[in-house]
Structure 1
Amino acid sequence: MKPTAAPVIRTIDLHQPMRWLVLGWRDIGHCGWVSFAHGLVLTVVGLGLLVLARHQFWWLAGAFSGLLVVGPVLATGLYALSRAVERDEARSWRLVLKTWLSWRRHGSGRDGKDWRLVQFGLLLGLAGTGWVLTSAALITLMSPVPIEQPLDFLKYVVLARDNWLFEVWLALGGLMAAPMFASSAIAIPLLLDRRISVLQAVITSWEAVLNNPVPMAWWATLIMGFSLLGLLSALLGLIAVMPMLGHASWHAYRDLVDASAWPERTTGQPGAY
């Protein structure tokens, strides 16, 4: 079934992103340990990266920032949980597992499978990998000394006064992150909720961001700020930050888009794309 009309993009106020965070915490209260487990998994992955790249910090800086790029995909289970809270349905690991494995179930599409979330995840994964490689190459080529430890990165990149490496690194990261944020701000929740194509979801996400540039810039700032707090707390803060932002992103989608004209996608019954 094809959508018969374009979704309605709503205009939001500057205070709405803060409301999303409050609603995110409310959803954590409803879902409990299932929500926090998502953050715990991300923390364990981050600690693993620290161990693997402890002597190659130039890789680590890119890897952690790359995690932020693929964050919307990692939060897919949280979107499903928030939708279940909204519908007063059961919230459990069974729902999360069904959501992650929905691409394996037979649907009504041409190939009998729903590959949209997989496709979008691969696209974001490629973008994250591209940033890791770009970040590593930039720091390796421009740093005056080898960057092997976090203190080396802080001393010779962040606090260096005789070069512009940190500023260039931030600017390049921003240039790569901005279109990825616009593409993914609401795309994954939309793909989870409605039977539309990846391209349609990305276009809708861009429209939502462009129609609300100031509130969405504030939302991106909040995401970055809380993510940095999680990283700087020895990664332990991610246990709470990741589920809060994931649940909040579902409410961002619900406030920004009226997708009622699009066919609904129910968990375990993938759409036609």
Structure 2
Amino acid sequence: MRLPPIRRIALAAPFDWLALGWRDLWRIGLPSLLHGLVLAAFGALLLLIARDRFWLLAGAFSGFLVVAPVLATSLYALSRALERGEPADLQTVTKTWTRWQYSRYAVHGGYWSLVRFGLLLSLAGTGWVLTSAALITALAPAPVHAPLDFVRHVVLAPRGYLFELWLTMGALMAAPLFASSVVSMPLLLDRRVDVLKAVLTSWQAVLSNPGALALWAGLIMALTLLGMATALLGLIVILPWLGHASWHAYRALVDESALPERLPPEGST
């Protein structure tokens, strides 16, 4: 399988992506912020459902991060429209999905490539939620119902290594999923490739730029935790910001010029 070339980037490149994503966020405005509002509301729903089951909440938020690349797909479409000089609004998002699903360009994976990959990530996220819940329920020295219980009985437990085990298992799951999805979703949206080729391209990007993409993963985690620490209100801005920045990460990492476009610019045939 011939993969698109991967560019070598500077270690500090993720800060450039954040700057470009910030620019896109405020140029697009309301459509981006509405995406952030919906995603933050979804996080609030998780909090409401699991507020008395913090062992479940910890896994649920981790799973939420796993499927975030799928949830940000419309943000990639908005950044692409801005890049092409097309209108970047809610109508653009609707047109992108409907043109893609029903046009002749939907062959070779098409619309269903994103659906299949999204389902795979969702299954992985669900698996981590169940694993996290089972681990904390089985090994915590006392019931964990609230954040303070988690800190006291898991993070600061005087004996045992439950927190270290929980972090290790989370990292073992998150690392390959991050490597599989860092550029997969933008690539599937932008070019006519199948899921396997998109995932292998994503792995190639990580293996070619391990330092920069480790920094990128750390920045994503840090900004997401910051948004959560603001009673989820910060996520309204942070999540679309990261979505737009992820589009620029894809553009910086992947030389997609040899691949056919998934959809040509609006108005072309």
TM-score by length of 2: 0.94
Moved more, 161-170 or 173-182: 161-170
Percent sequence identity is 60
Distance 1:40 1:15 in 2: 29
- Please state whether the residue corresponding to 2:263 is helix, strand or coil: coil
Moved more, 42-51 or 68-77: 42-51
Which residue of structure 1 aligns with residue 129 of structure 2?
132
Q: CA 1:126 to 1:220, structure 2 compared with 1: closer, same or farther past 3 Å?
A: same
After superposition, the CA RMSD in angstroms is 2.0
Question: 1:212 aligned to 2:209?
Answer: yes
Which residue of structure 2 aligns with residue 150 of structure 1?
147
| Counterpart contact for 1:99–1:267, Cα < 8 Å | no
Q: CA 1:142 to 1:10, structure 2 compared with 1: closer, same or farther past 3 Å?
A: same
Distance 2:50 2:12 in 1: 39
Post-superposition Cα deviations, 1:194-235, rounded to whole Å, max 9, x if no partner, equal: 000000000000000000011111111111111111111111
Which residue of structure 1 aligns with residue 111 of structure 2?
114
| Equivalent residues in 2 for 1:25-104, closer than 5 Å | 25-100=22-97, 104=101
Q: CA 1:252 to 1:50, structure 2 compared with 1: closer, same or farther past 3 Å?
A: same
TM-score by length of 1: 0.92
Distance 1:44 1:250 in 2: 23
| Larger relative helix fraction | 2
| Equivalent residues in 2 for 1:157-176, closer than 5 Å | 157-176=154-173
Distance 1:178 1:260 in 2: 28
Distance 1:136 1:62 in 2: 7
TM superposition shift of 1:169: 0.6
Distance 1:268 1:125 in 2: 31
TM superposition shift of 1:107: 3.1
Post-superposition Cα deviations, 1:101-123, rounded to whole Å, max 9, x if no partner, equal: 56642435669963111011001
| Counterpart contact for 2:205–2:254, Cα < 8 Å | yes
Structure 1: gaps of 5 or more residues: none
Distance 1:265 1:111 in 2: 10
Amino acid paired to 1:29? W
Aligned length: 266
TM superposition shift of 1:99: 3.8
Which of 6, 11, 19 matches 1:9? 6
- Please state whether the residue corresponding to 1:98 is helix, strand or coil: helix
TM superposition shift of 1:40: 0.8
